Chain A
Amino acid sequence: MTPPADLAVVGAGPAGLAAAVTAAGLGLTVTLLDAGERPGGQFHRHPAPGLGAARPAALHHGWRQFTDRLARLQAHRDAGRVTHLPGHHVWTVGRADGHWRLHAVAGPDETPATVHARAVLLATGAYERQLPFPGWTLPGVVGAGGAQAMLKSGLVLPGRQVVVAGSGPLLLAVAGSLAAAGARVPAVAEAAAYTAYARAVPTLLRNPAKLAEGARHGAALLHRTTRLLTRHAVTAAHGTTRVEAVTVTRLDPDWRPVPGTARRVPCDALAVGHGLVPRLDLATGLGCATRRTPDDTHALVVDAGQATSVPGIWAAGEPCGVGGADLAVTEGEIAAETAAHALNGTPRDPRRAAALARRRDRLRAFADVMATAHRPGPGWAGWLDDTTEVCRCEEVTARRIRTAVTDYGAHDTRTVKLLTRAGMGWCQGRMCGPAVARLAGGPPAADRRPLSCPVPLRHLAGLPADHDPTAPPPPTEEPEA
């Protein structure tokens, strides 16, 4: 066996990439794993080289910082300090005498791979929160971030006339990118009211950079052609084999549709999302403590140095609470520095440490203000009808879930799942989880799945008999003060 790396970083988005290059710069040996083929995560998702994009920066902010970081990554790889494993999805992390063992599947053939490390940094990002509505399973209805991801990587659009809807700062970024790429965006329907931020003007003023960024200059295009409707939602999508129109309805402050305000907007695609959910599957599997966020998701509890409640496990970026790419980078750098200190006693420059902490706290405060403003109101369930499929995978309707709740007394996602199969499909409840929790009347469940991704059974059988992510932690060496 090759000696364990000092640090395994899971996720090569803004947080993981910043952490990997910072840690390697401080002398740690780093193994960087990412499910995707190219580093960058969601924010810096970019086209494959074969697409020959001469100006990929048109779809991004902060492209220079990203390419600088890639160059540093390459230099560390050449020097043997970083092992970069793209196309590796880590599906579980366990302990092995004195260090951590990460199990991954690699490539289309799902080849098993195991990585050993003294410490682990989880930078696994987030996925979009979806709230169902009649017609949301029609082809052409896509995630807002999903449309953005497909545009950034494949240079494609879901349609020519794309309504953007849901809630959160990402919507405007997505609408701007779609418009810059040639789509007509007749309307952006935002369920919250941006005026909610007005109460936090001092926080806003200290944050000139917005929480989410899309294509450069996209916003200017929107200005001319798009209706921005706050306190509005798409409450139905219409069509037979693909979406042909959506119903846009005004909402009251609790997100309840206001009767008599529905109007039909023709379109051939809808990009929809209601904020982001931190991706915590590996962390919760390890027993890391979580907290409720202001927008009703769960995030990891981390200390000032980005260490989770489990010794030897650090986290950075969206798993610690959704906050955008700048915050993710800052947290990645802090995590790398404190991990280097814990593992090798590498001293931290107190001035830099203080500056990073200030920056993180400022960005986090701003993110919390936004999260509070965009937290889904309880009235959204009012736009479901009985036949709306809430669980896309298992095709479970709202009626069946409501029956499980009213007739069989199910009051949490687990019981609903056992009674109806909602949340039992391929996505492991990631798409329907927030909605099922609301219908059951319970709090949202943390992102807790036995495996991070579907894994061939033969790999499960191949796990060492002693695989137990929650067993007592391996001894960590005390840093010399």
Chain B
Amino acid sequence: MSRAPRTPLGLVRAQPEPPYTFTFDGRTLTALPGQTLAAALWAAGITSWRTTRGGGAPRGAFCGIGVCHDCLATVDGRPNQRACLVAVRPGDTVTTQVGTGHGPDGKGTPS
């Protein structure tokens, strides 16, 4: 008999409440209730959602606890949201934060 593959949800025998959707750069993704934005993006296999002001290099979560500020994203037009701290809400529109995030389309241009 083959055993089910190990997963984080399986490890703690999670029975989450129904998932909901949000969009990331136009893509529809699902999040589980209570997950942070960074967790929902990781669950979708996404590890970068910001580009730096200087070199335009991709970044995502690093410290995981709100200290490094590498994980900044633009949520519903508001830039500089720490994805490792903010919870995803149903229907959120999340975009990659470009540079300072204060560009014309709420997405930002490198400053």
Contacts and interface: CB of A to CB of B under 8 A. Distances in A.
A-B interaction: yes
Interface of A: 35, 42, 47-56, 58-59, 108, 127-128, 137-143, 145-151, 153-159, 180-182, 215, 241-242, 269, 392-395, 425-427, 430-431, 453-454
B94 interface: no
Given A147-B64, A393-B69, A52 B16 contact: yes
B90 to A, nearest CB: 12
Interface string B12-47: 111111000000000000001111101110110001
B47 to A, nearest CB: 4
Contacts of A50: 16-17, 32-34
A242 B41 CA distance: 14
A139 B60 contact: yes
Interface of A: prevailing SS: loop
Contacts of B16: 50-52
Contacts of B70: 392-393
A146 B57 contact: no
B65 A58 contact: no
B11 interface: yes
Contacts of A35: 66
A269 B70 CA distance: 16
Given A56-B12, A182-B8, A242-B47, A153 B67 contact: no
* Size category, B interface: 35 or more
A289 to B, nearest CB: 24
Interface string B63-77: 111111110100000
Contacts of B7: 181-182
Given A35-B66, A50-B16, A50-B17, A150 B84 contact: yes
Contacts, number: 167
B104 interface: no
A157 B42 contact: yes
A367 B15 CA distance: 38
A51 B58 contact: no
Nearest to A37: B87
A157 B8 contact: yes
Contacts of A56: 12
21 contacts: A51-B16, A51-B33, A52-B16, A54-B14, A56-B12, A58-B11, A137-B59, A145-B63, A146-B62, A148-B64, A149-B65, A154-B35, A154-B39, A155-B9, A156-B43, A181-B8, A215-B11, A392-B59, A393-B68, A426-B68, A426-B72
A38 B55 CA distance: 37
Contacts of B5: 182
For A154, A180, A182, which residue has the most chain B Cβ atoms within 10 angstroms?
Answer: A154
A218 to B, nearest CB: 9
Contacts of B62: 141-143, 146, 392, 431
B61 interface: yes
Contacts of B54: 394-395
B63 A431 contact: yes
A168 to B, nearest CB: 15
Given A52-B14, A143-B63, A148-B64, 14 more contacts: A48-B35, A58-B12, A127-B67, A139-B60, A140-B47, A143-B68, A145-B64, A145-B65, A155-B8, A155-B9, A155-B14, A180-B6, A269-B47, A427-B69
